[in-house]
């Protein structure tokens, strides 16, 4: 039973993302080990690029990893351990107790992280908008046609699927008849007049996220000089 369950645990970890970079913790190299006993006790260790990575970001990843692993069929107990981080003890203990961020950092945090998660999802939507719109414009799609497109008119692609998923996670329209271009804060369609500014913001957001991802992966590689679990074939 152990090997198939471990495979499912690793697949579940593929769904856990760095909230700022919008990439799986597995592909980023943040997962260092994953074990599952014959009784279904799963233990996963995580690492981050620096000792002082923001504790709210770290908490989200550890908590999301716990939820993903605990939901895997065949897992009896889940333990997620963040290593080599200044707030490891508070984060690991808080997630294990399902205490929430504010209680885990009592006296330091005043609220949960729903707002932060939503902010990052909005950025992911903007970055995804650039990823799907740039190829369309390069292929000759006129701005007026782009402003009137729906998600259902997009060519099938990984960026288009990701954009739909991020919009759905944010509670924004994500069906075939939903407008392609919307304000991720209000959910309102972006018209032709607002198109140039919207696309500039989308491009700037994508570039910022990709630059941060490059810095983080570089710092992680320098810090540990080993690949993470799941990166062996990458």
Tell me the average pLDDT across 202-227.
Answer: 96
Q: What is the pLDDT of residues 74-109, one digit of tens each?
A: 999 999 999 999 999 999 999 999 999 999 999 888
Q: pTM (2 decimals)?
A: 0.93
Stretch 194-199: mean pLDDT: 98
Q: What's the chain's average pLDDT?
A: 95
pLDDT in tens, 32-87: 999 999 999 999 999 999 999 999 999 999 999 999 999 999 999 999 999 999 99
Q: Where are the domains of the chain?
A: 2-111, 114-214
CATH topology of domain 2-111: GMP Synthetase; Chain A, domain 3 (3.30.300)
Report which of residues 94 and 2 the model is more confident about: 94
Query: Distances from the Cα of 24 to the Cαs of 87, 89, 98, 121, in angstroms?
Result: 21, 23, 22, 14
Q: Is the pLDDT of residue 233 over 60?
A: no
Residue 1 reports pLDDT greater than 70:
no
C-alpha–C-alpha distance, residues 52 and 228, integer Å: 19
**How large is the average pLDDT for residues 115-131?**
97
Q: How confident is the model at residue 4 (pLDDT cuts 50, 70, 90)?
A: very high
pLDDT at 151 over 60: yes
């Amino acid at each position: 039973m152990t090997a198939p369950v471990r495979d499912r645990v690793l697949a579940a970890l593929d769904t856990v993302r760095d909230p700022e970079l919008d990439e799986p913790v597995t592909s980023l190299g943040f997962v260092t080990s994953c074990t599952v006993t014959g009784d279904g006790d799963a233990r996963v260790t995580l690492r981050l690029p620096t000792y002082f990575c923001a504790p709210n970001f770290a908490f989200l990843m550890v908590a999301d990893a716990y939820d993903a692993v605990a939901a895997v069929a065949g897992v009896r107990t889940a333990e997620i351990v963040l290593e080599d981080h200044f707030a490891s003890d508070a984060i690991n203990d808080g997630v294990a107790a399902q205490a929430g961020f504010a209680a885990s950092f009592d006296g330091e945090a005043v609220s949960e992280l729903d707002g932060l998660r939503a902010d990052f999802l909005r950025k992911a939507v903007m970055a995804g908008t650039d990823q799907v719109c740039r190829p369309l414009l390069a292929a000759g799609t006129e701005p007026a046609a782009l402003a009137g497109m729906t998600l259902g008119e997009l060519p099938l692609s990984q960026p288009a699927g990701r954009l739909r998923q991020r919009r759905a996670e944010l509670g924004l329209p994500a069906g075939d008849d939903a407008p392609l271009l919307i304000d991720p804060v209000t959910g309102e369609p972006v018209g032709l007049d607002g198109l140039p500014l919207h696309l500039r913001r989308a491009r700037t957001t994508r570039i910022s996220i990709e630059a941060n991802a490059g810095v983080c992966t570089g710092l992680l590689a320098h810090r540990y000089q080993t690949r993470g679990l799941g990166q062996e074939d990458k």
